[in-house]
Amino acid sequence: MKLVLASAEGEAHFGLIDGLLPDLDVVRARTPEETLAAVADADVLYGMPSAAVVAAAPHLRWIQSSAAGVEFIAKVPTIVEGDVVVTNTRGAHGPSIAEHVFGLLLAMTRELPACLDQQRRRYWSRQTLYRTAREIRGLTMGLVGFGAISRAIAHRATAFDLTLAAVDAQAVDGQPYLDEVWPSSRLPELLATSDVVVVAAPLTTETRGMIGADEIAAMKANGYLIVVSRGGIVDEAALAAALGRGHLAGAALDVTEVEPLPEDSPLWDAPRLILTPHLAGASDEKERRCVEILRDNLLRFAAGEPLLNVVDKKLGY
């Protein structure tokens, strides 16, 4: 069995698969050219391959995505329509992204960007900030998408005494955090009743542009919007415009539709907006968990057992 490691995700922990199986041939491909050459006789690929890579891999049987999001498969119809199994690293990113969410939320409610700005200007004043700083205890957090990442967020939200609500495209159990996860049709209700809205849904044809100008306008004027899954779900121009006219107490984006964010994006100058460069999932612990998922699935694949985190290729998650 030949495995091509075509992603740097978890590279520091690739040693976890050394000697895992006696007949496992592991090839590290660091460039697109190396990947194309290596996949000609590959059975398994770790990464997010392009259409050209898939076309060059006639024996490919399984793709282990190096990320939780697998929107790349929508660009490769042969994956969607073919027999290649796709799995992802669902669950690996939950702890780091959940911590990032609360870092962003607390930064906004405790006025940390304004404090840092004052620090840079060597200016000491608390008159305005003393009036605008808020507690998050008792707020309602609405989660858009209730998968592994939102469950990690919900777990931490309980320690902050937040009330939780969630919507999901699938019928999922919210226990132990929620009595009920609402269907996506109740998104307007979630937006209108939540003090904090966290977007943690995958990017699919159904979620692209799901939160536009009307949905942002429906949110509480003093609410917060945090996006940590994928860009393209929230209309960025509409968000910048809403912030510009004073709607929302704050917003934070870890992901944008185009990355890196273009220099002419209105988001750069939007007031009360925090931008982080797709950093939420970053941690060495997460890198190890990604490789651990690959390792466990390699053992399952070799034994003919069901794989973990199998993706529904039609749904895209």
Which of 151, 230, 247, 289 does the annotation list as catalytic?
230
Query: Is 123 within 8 Å of 101 (Cβ atoms)?
Result: no
| Closest to 202 measured CA to CA, from 210, 193, 212 | 210
Instruction: Estimate to the nearest angstrom the gap between the alpha carbon of 238 and the chain centroid.
Output: 21
| Cα–Cα distance for residue pair 64/78, rounded to 1 Å | 16
The alpha-helical segments, DSSP class H, found in the chain are 32-38, 51-55, 77-81, 94-109, 112-120, 127-132, 148-157, 187-193, 213-218, 236-244, 284-303
230 catalytically annotated? yes
End-to-end CA distance of the chain: 26
Whole-angstrom Cα distance, residue 104 to residue 120? 20
Q: Which of 278, 288, 295, 300 is catalytic?
A: 278
Q: Which of 105, 194, 222 is nearest to 113 (CA)?
A: 105
- The Cα-based distances of 192 to 96, 122, 187 in angstroms read 28, 39, 9
H and E: helices and strands count for the chain: 11, 12
Catalytic site residue from 135, 180, 206, 259: 259
| Structure tokens, 304 | 């003919």
Residue 89's nearest CA partner among 285, 305, 303 is: 285
Active site residues: 230, 259, 278
